[in-house]
Structure formats: structure tokens, C-alpha cells
Chain A
Amino acid sequence: MSDIADRVRKIVVEHLNVDADKVTEKASFIDDLGADSLDQVELVMAFEEEFSVEIPDDAAESIQTFGDAVSFLEKAVK
């Protein structure tokens, strides 16, 4: 796992209060990790803060799983 993935996982664990081993590549924030739509907005904000990037609203909507977040951020941070 990349450094980015570790940082994303840490944010997800903190914000959603879930066990780290539940945060798998295919894990959906809403369906598997107990987030609601507001949690998801806050998660995206936390990613923006952590990685100093801006995630536009349409891109944010496409980030549904842990894997989506990691792959988006790996591209964005380069």
C-alpha cells in the first residue's frame, strides 16, 4: 500500500470511527462504512486538507469507495 493509501485510510478511520481492516479497496463509504451524504462531504474536505488539493464537486461525487479516493488522490497529488 502506498503512503497516500495509508493517509487516506487514517482519515477514513478517524472520521467514520471504523476499524482500519474494514477500509478495503472496494469498501463503499456509504454502503459499507456507515457514512451518510454529509459524512461523505466532510471526508472529501478532509482529503483536500490533508493533501492540499482542491477536489471539484463533480469529482467528489465519483469518489464512492476507499479505492476511488486513493486513485483520485494519487493522480491529483503528482
Chain B
Amino acid sequence: MKLRRVVVTGLGIVSPLGANVETVWKNILDGKSGAKKVDEFDVSDLACQIACRIPLGDTADGHFNPDDWMDVKEQRKVDPFIVYAMAAAGQALQDSGFEAKTDEQKERAGVLIGSGIGGVGGIYDASITLAEKGPRRISPFFIPGRLINLASGYVSIRHGLKGPNHSVVTACSTGAHAIGDAARLIALDDADVMVAGGAESPVNRLSLAGFAACRALSTGFNDDPQRASRPYDKDRDGFVMGEGAGTVILEEYEHAKARGAKIYGEVVGYGLSGDAHHITAPAEDGNGGYRSMQAAIKRAGLDVSDIDYVNAHGTSTPLGDEIELGAVTRLMGDHAKNVTMSSTKSAVGHLLGAAGAVEAIFSVLAMRDNMAPPTINLDNPSVETEIDLVPNKAKAKEINVALSNSFGFGGTNASLVFKKLN
């Protein structure tokens, strides 16, 4: 069976640097940071007291107003990751101009939105209710409002999308796997249109304590949050948690062309691999990431020398950054000196299950504008490299092909390759 071509026709985002695509992208290119000291709840006893938070306010100002995306009554029933997914999906559909009107359109359009840890905040709150007030006080919305696939469920109900309804849970690779898997559903003719991405709302005491216990979070910049996320820098000491959602509209190429849709680019490659090494630590040889990139480039029918820009996983953890850099360097070989690679986690933090989705969006925008976003706070690289890591300032460069990496706990790796339409 011949695979059908899949293109990106819409983008939607809610992130710590804004709640619409153009606002976020401008802030990223300007080298801004979304990190701040957490002041919405007590963090005094936590090792990591900072996070990248979504700016609340008017939608028109690029801030996030949940009421514009979901009925107030419904918002109360769900964890915020579902509200973020509704906002990002609503924006992406608006941007694409696609609306499922006929029965056939509805049945050929689906949703695949994942989350790394889903409704942890709500589970935490309900546990306290159970302990203090007993089982009769547990809301009937407790389960449906925390389930990870309910992001896809709510989006499908809101927009009448009756095609494949699916979800992904692969920790920090979730967003990339969701986009890759959704593209395959279209390529294999199971759907013509997919709303795909990831969403996460992890900023609460329980998640901060848990990730800190894994020794994954930055703990040395509690008084200087904007400098904490610093991938590849010698002073990096862990990631900074972020929150939000990213979704893309994926569409079969002829379907998009027939309705005159704006096309951002083509999803040409998707590669997956497993480390089979350790539950949280990446394998030191970087072989898992190497193979997921290699598989994605092979699927794209491209050569490593075609890769213009890499949006790195680059979380700012002491171990992971150099392992990924090593894998990219080995894979690129002689082409390494021409490769531009940056980590936008330096700016928006690590959005966990949403990371791969927002970074896919940044990769697509890097192609659209021929601009590589910067790795901010990269003042003193911890290793020498031929690869241009775009320290602190965005860089103009012709970008026709972009690769985006995501690696997750459990040793799960995903790479996506996007290409401009000729």
C-alpha cells in the first residue's frame, strides 16, 4: 500500500510565553524566558521552587483566558491539561480553516492528543478529600476529568470529530509520538484530518516533589528562575517544568490542496526507538536517540546532509544534553558543522507530554520564517562542538528540513522530520 502524503495546515499553542502561536514565537525569537518563582502555592519546603507558567489574561493580548475555549461549568470538572488542549485545538482548527460539517467529513477527522502525567493535580486533591471526608465526597467527574485520553475526548465532542480517537502516554516523548502516530493514521488512509499534539498541567506540589526526587529538576536557581533552564551550559543543573499544550492539524496533502488550505510543511519522517537501559537515565552511548533520528530520516527518504535545523530534546539536565549532542554529532558526521540545533526548552521550560508538540510547532515555524530560535542562557558550553547551538540570539538561516527530537522516561524516543513543500 502506498503511503499518502501528510501536511501541516494548522497550529495552536498555549505556553508559558503566550497563548497564541505568533505571540509565543516572537517571544522565543526575542530570547525571552517563561520561568518564574511559583507563588500560587507553598513551595518553601520544595527543592525546586520555580516553573514556567502560562500568563493568564486577555486572549487579545496573547495571554490565556480559559473561558474563551471551554465552558466554565466544564472547566470545573477537568484538570487544566484538558482546558489547555481545548484551547490549542480550537486555535489550530481556526488557523487551518477546516470545519467538519458533513457526516463524511466528521467521520474522516480524528483526534490524537496525549499527556505525560495527565490529571495528577486532581488526583492529589481527590486523595485528600477521600482521606478527610470519605468516598461519598468523590465527584463523579473525578475519573473522566483526570483521564489522559479525555483531552482527545473533549476536543472530539466540541468539534464533532468522529474519526480515530486516540491518545499517547510516553512521558516526555508524548507530543512527538502523538503527531507521528496521527500522521501515520492519515498516511494509511484511516483519516483525512487529525488534530494531534500533547497537553500537560504538572505544576503542583506533588509533581514538583516527585520530579525533584528523581533528581531531574533544577534546584540551584530558585532566586534567579529565568537563568535556570540552560541546556548545554556548564552550570545547568536540571530541567524547569513548564505547562501548556500544542496541537497541529495534520491533513492528507490532496485534501488540503483541494480546499485551498495554507500548508506549513510536510511531515516526511517519523522514527521511534527504545533505550532498553534505565527507567529515568538516558543510555550513555545515545544509541536510542541516534536510532530514532536515523529511522525518521530514512522514512523521509532524505540524507543527514539534508537536515538544516534540529530542535533538540535538550532539557538542561547534566546527563541528557551531552548524550543527545553526541548522538547528533555522530549521526551527522561531516555535515555536523552545517547543522544548527537549539533547545527551545531554554525559553518555555520542559512541557513534558506537551513538549514534543510545541517543539514540532517551533520546528515548523523555523522553516516558515527561516529562523533558528535561540538556546538562551547558553553562556559557557560544557563541551566543544562543531554544531551551532544558537546561543542566546536567534539566527537567520535557510531552513528547508527540520528535525525534532523527544526522549522520555522509560527510554522512549521519537524523532519527527518536517520539510517545506516545494
Could you tell me which A residues sit within 8 Å of B by CB distance?
Answer: 15-17, 38, 41-42, 45, 48-49, 54
Contacts and interface: CB of A to CB of B under 8 A. Distances in A.
Contacts of B144: 38
A42 B73 contact: no
A41 to B, nearest CB: 4
A41 B140 contact: yes
Interface of B: 71-73, 136-137, 139-141, 144
- In this complex, which of B72, B139, B144 has the most chain A Cβ atoms within 10 angstroms of its Cβ? B139
- In this complex, which of A16, A45, A48 has the most chain B Cβ atoms within 10 angstroms of its Cβ? A45
B137 A17 contact: no
Given A38-B140, A48-B136, 10 more contacts: A15-B73, A16-B73, A17-B72, A17-B73, A38-B141, A41-B140, A42-B139, A42-B140, A45-B137, A54-B136
A15 B139 CA distance: 12
16 contacts: A15-B73, A16-B73, A17-B71, A17-B72, A38-B140, A38-B141, A38-B144, A41-B140, A42-B139, A42-B140, A42-B141, A45-B136, A45-B137, A45-B139, A45-B140, A48-B136
* Dominant secondary structure at the B interface: loop
A42 B139 CA distance: 6
Contacts of B72: 17
A35 to B, nearest CB: 9
Contacts of B140: 38, 41-42, 45
B366 to A, nearest CB: 41
A54 B140 CA distance: 17
A11 B121 CA distance: 24
A27 B285 CA distance: 67
A38 B142 CA distance: 10
Q: Shortest 6 CB-CB distances between A and B: which pairs?
A: A17-B73, A38-B140, A41-B140, A17-B72, A42-B140, A42-B139
A43 to B, nearest CB: 10
Contacts of A45: 136-137, 139-140
Nearest to B144: A38
Contacts of B141: 38, 42
Contacts of B139: 42, 45
- In this complex, which of B71, B137, B140 has the most chain A Cβ atoms within 10 angstroms of its Cβ? B140
Contacts of A16: 73
Nearest to A17: B73
Contact of A49 (B71, B73, B137): B137
